[in-house]
Amino acid sequence: MNNSESPPILSHKYFDQPSVFTPENLLREARRQKNLSDNNVPEICVLDPDGDIVHNLITSKKAHLNPHWACYHSKLYDFEYDGIKFGIIGCGVGASFAVLVAEELFASGCRLLISMTSSGQIFPIQKPPYFILIEKALRDEGTSYHYLPPSKYSRINNNLFEMIADSFDKTVIPVHTGATWTTDAPFRETAAAIEYCRSRKILAVEMEAAALYAFAQVSQKPVICFAHVTNQMGNVGGDFEKGVDNGSRDALQIIATAAKRWSNYHKSV
C-alpha cells in the first residue's frame, strides 16, 4: 500500500449514505424462516457481554426465553426487576457483535439499551470491583469507524448523560464517571498503551463502548454504557473477583437505577 493511502478502515465509508443491508430486512427473513410472529421486544434491553447476569437470572428461574426474538446469532431473555420489564442478551463480546445486536434490538422495538461490560483497571481509583458510567470511550476498535468519521473518542449523548448521572449520587453502590479505552485486542494491551491511557486519566479498558456510542450518535438512539471494573488484567493474585453472584446483583441494581430514571423522565414529558 502506498504510504499516502489511508488504510481500508478509514477509506470509502460514505457516512451520509444509508446501508443497503438493514437489520429490518434481516429480521424479516429470519422471522419467515423461523416462523416467528412480528412482536416487539421489551422497550428496555441490556447487553451482558460476560453472560454472568443472564446466567444468574436463568439459574434462579427469573428469566425466560423471548419467543419472538429473530436474531440468528443470540438469545434474548425477558425478566422483571424492581418493577421494570427488561430484555437481556448475554455473551455478545466485542464492538462488532454488540453493535450488530444493538441494531437488531432497536429495529425490534427497543427504546433504551444499557450495556454492562466487565473491564480492566487502567487508572487506579480504588480496588476492584467497582463500576463506571462511561462518559466517553477511546476509539481503538474498528466498528465505530463505519459509523462516524475518525476522532479520538465517541461519547454518550449529553442530554442522556445529564438525565441519569446524578441518579447514582445516593446509591449504596458507588458509580464513578469517566473515560474508557475500547479495544478489539485484549491480549495486546501493552505496557506502553496502558501508560498512554493512564496519562490521559482513562479509567478502564473494555471492548464495546466506543462502537455503541458511535452507533447511538448516528442512529439517534439512547445507549448507556457501564464498565464493571473487575480485574487488573490478571497481574495480581485473586484477580477477576466480581462480587456476589459474579457481580450480577450489584450490576442489576445499577441497570435498574438508570432504567428507572429514563422511564420516569419519559413519563413526565
Assign residue 120 the CATH number of its domain.
3.40.50.1580
For the chain, the straight-line distance linking the first and the last C-alpha, in angstroms and rounded, comes to: 54
**Residue 177, CB-side half-sphere exposure with 13 Å CA sphere:** 12
Q: How many domains does the chain have?
A: 1
Distance (Å) of CA 102 to CA 45, 127, 250:
9, 31, 23
In a structure prediction context, what are the per-residue pLDDT tens digits for the chain, which is 269 residues long?
455 688 999 999 999 999 999 999 999 999 999 999 999 999 999 999 999 999 999 999 999 999 999 999 999 999 999 999 999 999 999 999 999 999 999 999 999 999 999 999 999 999 999 999 999 999 999 999 999 999 999 999 999 999 999 999 988 888 999 999 999 999 999 999 999 999 999 999 999 999 999 999 999 999 999 999 998 775 666 656 676 566 799 999 999 999 999 999 887 76
- Give the contacts of 233 (CB within 8 A, at least 6 positions apart): 120, 121, 189, 239
- The answer to whether residue 8 is domain-embedded is no
Helix, coil or strand: residue 122: coil
- The answer to whether residue 196 is domain-embedded is yes
Residue 202 belongs to domain spanning: 24-234+245-268
Does pTM top 0.75 for this prediction?
Answer: yes
- The answer to whether residue 222 is domain-embedded is yes
Q: How far apart are CA 120 and CA 228, in angstroms?
A: 8
- The answer to whether residue 10 is domain-embedded is no
Paired sense of beta strands 112-121 and 223-231, if any: parallel
- The answer to whether residue 100 is domain-embedded is yes
- The answer to whether residue 7 is domain-embedded is no
- The answer to whether residue 69 is domain-embedded is yes
- The answer to whether residue 5 is domain-embedded is no
